[in-house]
Structure 1
């Protein structure tokens, strides 16, 4: 049963509704700094973490929740009498839920921030808290994304508690998040050093969507994003893409990026049916298509210039994927 929740977030999206939902279920809310201020301004009763630890936030907020009393409240095993006796002796109650998201390190780096600003966005307390909660998932729920708020409240309202299966899934997602977070930091620091082939290569990817099928219709596939690339793009219209569509698209886009002048490429099964450069992008597409009009039918087209009306009309004259 969730009796006490610690909330400390950088992303306030959906937080007011979630905190009100918890409060309506009788959950006591603990918080820190800006999150506590935000909740109080919304009329939500909050207890400051400093009231429990008797220790103020220090170092411009770098140290807020890194305290034995907080971590003891999270890590104590509820079925271990000695653990619960220790909490009682310390005068603290168990914390049953963590609602924490991490400083936006990757977003800060992607917008071109300098090293000093990037370093300030390396979260320390957040990962420490959520890893502790995830380790103790048998008794503690760890919520790391606003996307989880709705389902969490729904289960609490319907069942009065979160199942162990739910807590396990939340823990698994937490460890995936902290792994990706650390990988992003390591990759950034490696780029500063100009290291192209690191001794340890940290890879992580975020699932964006399931695809219609894999290389063949009986195979499953999904699209994952890692860093920058075509996965950052947005589909404007048309059916959902298959794995083969994306592989061809990547090949076509990589090819046209090799040219400075207006260039178009028509790709089928990762092989160029035609590639051409010209004075404008529409003319380049016509020339690329005419390299092999038969094979171009149903192909993938990439352009290294913005689409204009003339080119769009030309594209519709032939079926393309």
Structure 2
């Protein structure tokens, strides 16, 4: 038994910017090729819609494709802002003995859509127009900085960056000398790439700070307040001066609740992103380092320790008291 599936190729006018993307066009090309390989051919119904200001003539790309589809037994529904140009195409079809059953005119989009059956395959044949710019911008600082002023690393075409940089400089975080914390990174996705590596480095720094805290607390027996004072000193002078992670490390060591107890003693490990795949930058940084043969042991070690830190339940289970085995006489 032959199972005939009705298919719907179409050319749509004034589509959204996303629909005009090359990636979308490639998906459509792949889908069309797949349809040609399926049993029953590409189908029996199609819709072709002309872009605004297009000319529906037999010699045009859109007109020629419409006639070709109709000539191959595919019912074509057409629409264009100019009715006269559609009429010209219909007349050309008649002159070439292409029946009206396979080529029909629609003056409204609803009528056109109603004449088609799903799934719809859409083709775009559009003039370039004014073009579209894309900017990939890494944003750093979390939701708090998003409200007060983040550090940003935009990447994209120079012409696009010329347009948006004044805006980004106005809302960006400011350095101590007033310089906006935003810079042109490069073309394409360079901005997001830099943000990814930034996060990988940050993981390494957090791991080092955690090791220092553990050494002072577990091995030197220092209290939370004492460790906080050490962090404050590191943040005030030397190589770690004004390091944000050191500053917040000092703050959390000295924070107390209303009862006077250190809040750090009750902090439950919040590093869960790597177990539910919602935080990918640490993974991506390590993957990039490996694929590019860049030695980054600090990043990789920090990432593995971060994963271990996320498995708090496993650690608690492994440290619970275990009864010794009883020997049988």
Q: TM-score, normalised by structure 1?
A: 0.22
Bigger share in helix: 2
Q: TM-score, normalised by structure 2?
A: 0.22
Rg comparison, structure with higher value: 2
